[in-house]
Amino acid sequence: MRALLVLCLAPAVAHADKKIQDLTPGYDREHTACVSQSAGMQKIATGTAALAKTAPEAERPELDKAAAALAKGTVAFGEYCTELGGLVTFLKDSATVAYKTVEREIDTRATKVSKLRREAKKQTDELQPLTRKMIPRIMAVRSVVAERDKRTTVKFPSGRSVDFPVMAGTWRAASSATGDSVEYADKDSKIVISTRQVAGACDDHRSAIPKGDVTEVDAKPAAWAVKYVQKETSGAHAVVMACVATGAKSVLATGDLTPPTAALADTLPALVLRMAAAFKP
């Protein structure tokens, strides 16, 4: 009689387990897709926020608004993915128990996932025109950055050499008895960076820093570095100055970019510091 009871119960338990096992793959695939889409949305939101920080002042309010909307959509999608992931984990952990014993918990979780799925889809549909608009702009900036990261080695007559970004224009090198200089020009911008060796410590040359609206720059390996915008009748220039100690002497490096909003504006401090660090007496 006892053996017969076990045989009668076995099919019911197997059927219950199969129901959980049948539910799991669908939710698992949905969770994988959700995580992938959430990561994509996060990249767009982050890219838009980065655009807002570097965009011309007139464009910033619109980009800030777009970044906030995309961030809100990312949060909604993230909540959906998190709840969905919890359901998948629960199903996998319950794979060997009878369905009836966890049916209420599964239904509760599935109902919550369904609600969050609808909300996430609504947010995605509403944001779709915005994402379509922002993706090309973000990709264009990434393309510029990728090109900027490509390097070309510029060799100076002095024998020194420095790596500079590969750009549309050409880097032209020159040397004198006291230092090196490099010029770059294209249809949109012009850069001049020069180095010269001077007597004394870098602190002795802080007087070279002009008065006014000057910003300190992360100076490694320089003793100090600053940046500012110099306004002239011919137009504004972005200027970076740095000083690197070389034993008992120092190397002063100056970079000048016209216009100050050109593509290499953020990179100019690093280029000036690279020139200064490469100076070997």
Radius of gyration of the CA atoms of the chain, in A: 31
Residue 164 has pLDDT above 50, yes or no: yes
Mean pLDDT of the 168-187 span? 89
Q: Which residues pair with 235 in a beta bridge?
A: 232
| Cβ proximity of 179 and 197 under 8 Å | yes
The residue type of 13 is: V
Q: Return the amino acid letter for 80.
A: Y
- The answer, yes or no, to whether residue 1 has pLDDT greater than 90, is no
Residue range 109-158, pLDDT digits in tens: 999 999 999 999 998 898 888 888 888 877 776 655 555 566 788 899 99
Torsion 50-256-217-245 (CA) sign:
positive
pLDDT band, residue 4 (cuts 50/70/90):
very low
- What pLDDT shows up at residue 281? 65
- For residue 11, pLDDT beyond 70: no
Q: Which residues contact 142 (CB under 8 A, 6 or more apart)?
A: 47
Q: Which of 8-17, 56-65, 149-158 has the lowest mean pLDDT?
A: 8-17
The domain limits of the chain are 2-148, 151-278
Q: Which residue has the tokens 């509760």?
A: 108
Q: 């570097």: which residue's tokens?
A: 54
**Sequence-distant contacts of 128-137: CB under 8 A, at least 24 apart:** 130/66, 130/69, 130/70, 131/41, 131/44, 131/70, 133/66, 134/44, 134/47, 134/48, 134/51, 134/66, 134/70, 135/44, 137/51
Backbone torsions φ then ψ of 279, nearest 5 degrees: -70, 115
For 121, the token pair is: 């889809």
pLDDT at residue number 16: 46
CB of 91 within 8 A of CB of 23?
A: yes
Proportion of the chain in helix, strand, coil states, percent, rounded to 5: 55, 25, 20
Per-residue model confidence (pLDDT) at position 147: 52
Percent of the chain with pLDDT over 70: 90
Q: Closest by alpha carbon to 193, among 141, 263, 251?
A: 251
Assess whether pLDDT exceeds 60 at residue 52: yes
Q: Specify the CATH number of the domain 151-278.
A: 2.60.120
More confident residue, 244 or 148: 244
pLDDT for the residue 182: 94
Residue bearing the bigger pLDDT, 84 or 235: 84
Q: What does the pLDDT look like over 264-277, one tens digit per residue? A: 778 888 889 888 88
80, 116 contact by CB (below 8 A): yes
> DSSP state, 166?
-
pTM for the complete prediction? Answer: 0.49
Among 54-68, 81-95, 101-115, name the one with the lowest average pLDDT: 54-68
Report yes or no: 179 and 279 within 8 Å, Cβ to Cβ: yes
Given a cut of 80, whether residue 251 has pLDDT beyond it is yes
pLDDT surpassing 50 at residue 2: no
Mean pLDDT score of the chain: 84
**The pLDDT of residue 42 is above 50:** yes
**For residue 41, what pLDDT is reported?**
87
> What's residue 7's pLDDT?
38
Task: Please report the pLDDT score of residue 63 as a whole number.
Answer: 86
Name the nearest CA neighbour of 77 among 38, 39, 122.
38
CA–CA distance, 112 with 84 (Å, rounded to integer): 9
| Cβ(247)–Cβ(202) below 8 Å | no
Place of tokens 């387990």: 17
Give mean pLDDT, residues 6-29: 67
When pLDDT is averaged across residues 42-68 and rounded to a whole number, the result is 84
Query: In angstroms, what CA-CA distances link 28 with 36, 92, 164, 170, 229?
Result: 13, 10, 48, 53, 55
CB atoms within 10 A of CB 190: 15
